[in-house]
Structure 1
Amino acid sequence: MAATAAATATAAKAALLFLLVINIVSVLAVAARPLEGDGWLESGIGMVTEMLRAAKSGPSGRTHCC
């Protein structure tokens, strides 16, 4: 009976270690992929955003921008 419990505990530890390794590998795989939104600046929305950012950060007379 003790041998069965030891074998079960060893199998459970091996399964948990395997799941941990799979989790780490999947996190690394996701981190290595480029983000999907990298090309948004080339689109029309990106150009409008850049124009609005330039208009906001320019000199505006009496008002002060955050």
Structure 2
Amino acid sequence: MNIELFSHLDFLPALKGFFSDLKVPINYVTVEPTTAKEILKDTFQLIEDVNFVGMVDDAAFEATSHWRLKK
């Protein structure tokens, strides 16, 4: 498993390589971004709490942050 992919590639290609190295099969649906609302539209009523801890994105692997949350 080569996690250095995340420091050399954009997030999506690195993630695909990561899962490939782990031999985790994925049935890809699309590479186009979408919203959480769209993904969760059929199951949203089952969710009681959401905890936003952070994001795994290119900035995280570059040790930079584009997010600043206030309580």
Taking structure 1 as the reference length, the TM-score comes to 0.21
Which structure ranks higher in relative contact order (CA pairs < 8 Å, sequence separation ≥ 6)? 2
More helix by share: 1
Computing the radius of gyration from Cα coordinates, the structure with the larger value is 1
Taking structure 2 as the reference length, the TM-score comes to 0.20
